[in-house]
Amino acid sequence: MKERILEEAERLFWKYGVRSVTMEDIARNLGISKKTIYQHFSDKEQILYQVIESKIGRNLSEMNCMVVEMANPVEELLSVLNMMQRNADHVSPNLLIDVKRYYPQAFTLFSKYKEDAIMRSILENIQKGISQGLYRDDISPAILARLRVEQIELAFDNEIFPTDQYSMHDIQYELIHHFVRGMLTEKGFTIYNQYVNQYNHEVKVYKKDGSDLAARLTE
Amino acid sequence: MKERILEEAERLFWKYGVRSVTMEDIARNLGISKKTIYQHFSDKEQILYQVIESKIGRNLSEMNCMVVEMANPVEELLSVLNMMQRNADHVSPNLLIDVKRYYPQAFTLFSKYKEDAIMRSILENIQKGISQGLYRDDISPAILARLRVEQIELAFDNEIFPTDQYSMHDIQYELIHHFVRGMLTEKGFTIYNQYVNQYNHEVKVYKKDGSDLAARLTE
């Protein structure tokens, strides 16, 4: 039951933010009573905390797998984009704002994850990229890793990128591709271009709705 | 007298932040009485407001001159760096935090400047760069201009880039060079490399303390 409550709470928080989702909503959606929820959790913040904890755990495993699977640092950074886009597509713009403003404990958990895991993995990526000659050696890994970490939060900031003007998908795409390109050497660009061409090709092949027909015909 | 008060207040605010500078400090430094200051300004926030107003005016003229003088968009963006580094070198890390937290009217002025003038000039720069074939045409000018505007504030954020770990000079340099490189086409890189080589050469020539002797000897 605890798992089901966490799953449903995650789905609702991601879709509507935290503030507007009540214990009542979670119970109703699961067809259980509020009392049952309170047998497992003392309040909404505790649910939120465990939702974020579990989400972070899954993200970490996914990130670790990708680092192992990917052939080089350029692909590694760009495939984080795919993971983020899958996650970001159905995230309410209120989620991060709600957590930041009203749920300090949960936000601390997120900040710690950002500081430790994300910061470290980006820093390692940059150092690896430099040592493999794919990223320029005149960049500062510490400053650029910090920039990238901040960009992740920036993209979710509704005041900076209003959701009625930009899609999360586009913002993430622009920011990460620009971030990677800003570090590349000539050798790095060769690998980057290969990856982008292959990726664009796959997107076209996988499109089922025929919307890319015109593009294919003019190729 | 009004001008002298504004000049001295600017110097003190830039050096120490706003909160820790008193009307008494400004008066003492000018060898005048506090009463004289109050003949021109109702309170410290009014002085701050006019200091920022005048600073913005000067920055705008400088930016406009640069756009006219510079041969191309790449040089334009990079020379804003020189302007920012000259300004940033003697700015207290408290300044922006103080203004943001405690002086809403003055902060509104700064935000408006950021939104209007800076945002517009970066957007124009990106569009010009694309049309001249120096920046890639697959980037989104709106998203990247917004990213750059946010980076300016990011660099001043003492919590993100602690001043005991990073110098403002290095942060600004890293961020703007990375920003420009992330947009460049091959043609753009040719111009960028010329500019950077020439700039590094000038830095060496102008260095008076001999610290670059080793570098020159091994060239």
pLDDT score recorded for residue A122: 92
Q: What whole-number distance in Å separates Cα of residue B176 and Cα of residue B121?
A: 15
- Chain A residue with minimum CA distance to B151: A147
Which distant-in-sequence residues (6+ apart) come within 8 Å of A7 by Cβ? none
Block means of pLDDT (10 residues each) for chain B, 219 residues, are 93 91 95 95 94 87 75 87 71 81 89 86 94 95 93 82 84 93 95 85 51 42
Q: Which of B118, B135, B143 to mutate to test the interface with A (most CBs of A within 10 A)?
A: B143
Residue in A170, A181, A183 to test binding to B, most B beta-carbons within 10 Å: A181
Q: What is the ipTM of this complex?
A: 0.75
Q: Could A143 and B161 be called an inter-chain contact, meaning their C-beta atoms sit closer than 8 Å?
A: yes
Task: Judge whether A143 is closer than 8 Å to chain B, CB to CB.
Answer: yes
Nearest to A183 by CA among A131, A128, A130, A143: A130
Cβ-in-10-Å burial (0-12, 13-18, 19+) of B202 comes to exposed
Residue B65 CB coordination number (10 Å) = 10
Q: What is the pLDDT of residue A125?
A: 94
Q: What is the pLDDT of residues B88-109, one digit of tens each?
A: 666 777 788 888 889 998 889 8
What average pLDDT does the structure give for chain A? Answer: 85
Closest chain A C-alpha to B56 CA, distance in angstroms: 22
Query: A64-78, A83-97, A148-162: lowest mean pLDDT where?
Result: A83-97
Tokens standing for residue B39: 């003949």
Q: Tokens for A59? A: 């993200």
The predicted pLDDT at position A209 comes to 46
**In angstroms, what separates the C-alpha of A16 from chain B's closest C-alpha?**
25
Question: CA dihedral defined by A210, A212, A213, A219, rounded to 10 degrees?
Answer: -160
Q: Which of A4-18, A66-80, A84-98, B162-176 has the highest mean pLDDT?
A: A4-18
A119 alpha carbon, distance to own chain's centre: 14
Question: Collapsing DSSP states into helix, strand and coil, what is residue A71?
Answer: coil
Q: How many contiguous H segments (helices) and E segments (strands) does chain A have? A: 12, 0
Whether pLDDT at A214 is above 50: no
- Contact list in A for residue B139 (CB cut-off 8 A) is 174, 178
Domains and CATH numbers, chain B: 58-207 (1.10.357.10)
**Alpha-carbon dihedral sign for residues B51, B53, B54, B59:** positive
Q: List the beta bridge partners of residue B184.
A: B135
Residue pLDDT, tens place only, A154-212? 887 878 888 788 888 889 899 999 999 999 999 999 999 998 888 776 655 544 444 44
What residues of chain A lie within 8 A of the CB of B181, using their CB? 181-184
- How many angstroms from the chain centroid is the CA of residue A61? 13
Cα nearest neighbour of A179 on chain B = B182
